[in-house]
Amino acid sequence: MKERFSLYGFLRNQKYYEPFLLLAFLDRGLDYFMIGLLISFRQVWVNLLEIPSGFIADSFGRRFSLIASFIAYILSFIIFAQSAPVWTLFIAMFLFAIGEAFRTGTHKAMIFAWLDVNGRADEKIEVYGYTRSWSQIGSAISLIIATAAVLTSGGYRTMFYLAIPPYLINIVNLLGYPSFLDNPTPQKFSFRQLVRRFSDTLGSALKNRSLRALFLESMIVRGNSMLIKDYLQPMLKEGALVLPLFLALAVEKRSALLIGAVYFILYLVSGLASRNAHLVVMRLKGEKKTTKALVALSAAAFVIATASLLMRHIMPAALMFTLVVILQNIWRPILVSRIDEASDSKMGATVMSINSQVGSFYVMICAPLLGLAVDALGLISVAAFGILTSLAILIRKLNVGGER
């Protein structure tokens, strides 16, 4: 099953559009504020749908939830690829949000359920890190395909069509999962039951001091990583203009090659980071110490990025942003394991969905504000924002005993 779990992540991350999404929006004439509104709109719906989706996954079948997710993704890709009015992007974002809401947390809960049934619960960090590493390898390979697509087509729309076949294959992969991983107890759906399940799980989570601290940590660290990864794209495009490389090519193709190269390295190194997260924990003698070290390194990277942008050195700043994303891929398996240990396994998908929801709420608020700041002050706003939020987490961890 570990191989099938890894195949799921590999196929899911055939996101050919991801390294160029911001550039695709800019190509349509959108400014950073409008792009931030689109991202915020997506996260609003992710927030609204994520808790019900976790309930549905736990109650009626996790495979059903994931298959519905991929169908919604495919419909959104079709709309994104069309030459349609800007308002249709909001419809595509809504469908994308359905895909995100029905996916997040559910597959992790299936992995942990399989480990529990097979008496391997103590391998959570190692196994999840291994499967996540295959997700990153999938991203690296998708990068090569996406870069080739941009170079041959000269545009960004083709990438959305290319993402459809891997998602269809993943639906077939999910149909082959053992039925016990669904974890459903067939029951009649009722809104009252959903609200009761949500309130019970949320209330239990909020009473749990460890879970509260973990949700806050996840909200900021994961949210920053999501925002930063997108802003790497315009930063690298600007860097392509000053580097004496591929001068015979048009700006779009030069930037595509540079973005492709950087993201390829990013995904490969991120895959290695996820796979070896458990070794980092062992080396630093504990999950708590490891987390503090990762947040401190992230804060230092943001400081260097801010100084580089002040001196108008784009590429060192891009390198620091890349480092932050890599550190997040070490941190992620550790956090997921800690959340699972601190929560009731019978509500695994719901708790993981709450965790994803708080991150979505963070991105929902910050995306348009950060876009407005970038329109006014430039990309240095992103680095300065990273410094403030990373220091806030680090100071809290140094002053509060907190979780394990």
Instruction: Quickly list DSSP for 159-184.
Output: HHHHTHHHHHHHHHHHHTS-GGGG--
List Cα–Cα distances, 207 to 211, 342, 343, in angstroms.
Answer: 8, 11, 11
255: nearest Cα among 243, 237, 238, 241: 237
Between the two ends of the chain, the Cα-to-Cα distance in Å is 30
Reported confidence tier of residue 195, pLDDT bands at 50, 70, 90: low
CB atoms within 10 A of CB 131: 25
Cβ-proximal residues to 279 (8 Å cutoff; 6+ apart), any chain: none
Residues above pLDDT 70, as percent of the chain: 84
Question: Is 183 a residue whose pLDDT tops 70?
Answer: no
Lowest-confidence range among 10-19, 170-179, 227-236, 391-400? 391-400
- pLDDT of 290 strictly over 80: yes
Least confident of 25-29, 105-109, 196-200, 309-313: 196-200
**Cα–Cα dist 184/182, whole Å:** 6
Radius of gyration (Cα) for the chain, nearest Å? 20
In CATH, 2-176+204-399 is 1.20.1250.20: yes
Q: What tokens were used for 122?
A: 């103590």
Residue 386 in tokens: 């990273």
Split at pLDDT 50, 70, 90, the class of 83 is low
DSSP codes joined into one string, 12-53? HT--TTGGGHHHHHHHTT--HHHHHHHHHHHHHHHHHHHHHH
**What local confidence, expressed as pLDDT, does residue 404 receive?**
43
Tokens of 133: 């590493």
Amino acid in the structure at residue 85: P
> What local confidence, expressed as pLDDT, does residue 345 receive?
60
Q: What is the pLDDT of residue 184?
A: 52
Q: Is the pLDDT of residue 44 over 80?
A: yes
Top pLDDT among 179 and 204 is at 179
396 pLDDT higher than 80? no
Given a cut of 90, whether residue 269 has pLDDT beyond it is no
Residue 399 has pLDDT above 70, yes or no: no
Residue 313 exposed, middle or buried by CB count within 10 Å (0-12, 13-18, 19+): middle
Domain ranges of the chain: 2-176+204-399
pTM over 0.85: no
Computed over every residue of the chain, the mean pLDDT equals: 80
Stronger pLDDT, 51 or 72, i.e. the higher one? 72
